[in-house]
Amino acid sequence: MDLTWLNPAAAISRGDKNIIKSIWDRISGLPGGKTVFSRMIGRMAPYTGTIGASVEVLREGYAEVVLADRRAVRNHLDCVHAVALVNLAEVTGNLALGYSLPADARFIVAGLSIEYTKKARGTIRGICECPPIASSAKKEYAVPVRMVDAAGIEVATAVLRTLVGPKKKD
């Protein structure tokens, strides 16, 4: 029985599976499955976990991740902190790209730019649409992420400069 999905942090850059896709496909449809997946992502990347974001939609080239407005992610102006939005952009883009990778590929963010267009108040949704990745050949991709408030008004946009390449052999 293959139990590599139980230790995704160890399997994500090694092995012969797309572990993000494998786990999401396995548990997202179960009661509480999206919550479990979201918490697992937060444990794999502890800093990412500090914002407590929830993965709502994940499919080939697409992700939606929700950040609830609460005191822990606010700044002194009583709106969602700029760094919380950067964190939301990164996790949203990484999940959309990661789900789309071939099983023999891995990735790392090499740069990130963000534009803040409006004060972010209330629940913020990160939305990423990126092209599916066809190969594990070394290549750089621009991964766009939009962040919108509950009314659908854009509060920030980001672009992750992401390097994709082959996984290391064990």
* Spatial separation of the C-alpha atoms in residues 16 and 50, rounded to whole Å: 30
* Spatial separation of the C-alpha atoms in residues 74 and 2, rounded to whole Å: 41
Contacts of 150 (CB under 8 A, 6+ apart): 122, 123, 125
Contacts of 81 (CB under 8 A, 6+ apart): 73, 74, 75
Answer yes or no: is pLDDT of 12 > 90.
no
Confidence class for position 6, pLDDT limits 50, 70, 90: low
* Spatial separation of the C-alpha atoms in residues 89 and 131, rounded to whole Å: 17
What integer pLDDT is reported at residue 170 of this predicted model? 60
Q: Quote the domain boundaries for residue 19.
A: 4-166
What integer pLDDT is reported at residue 48 of this predicted model? 87
Instruction: Name the pTM for this structure.
Output: 0.89
Number of domains in the chain: 1
Answer yes or no: is pLDDT of 109 > 60.
yes
Helix, strand, or coil (residue 103): coil
CATH classification at residue 33? 3.10.129.10
CA angle 163, 168, 169 (to 5 degrees): 155
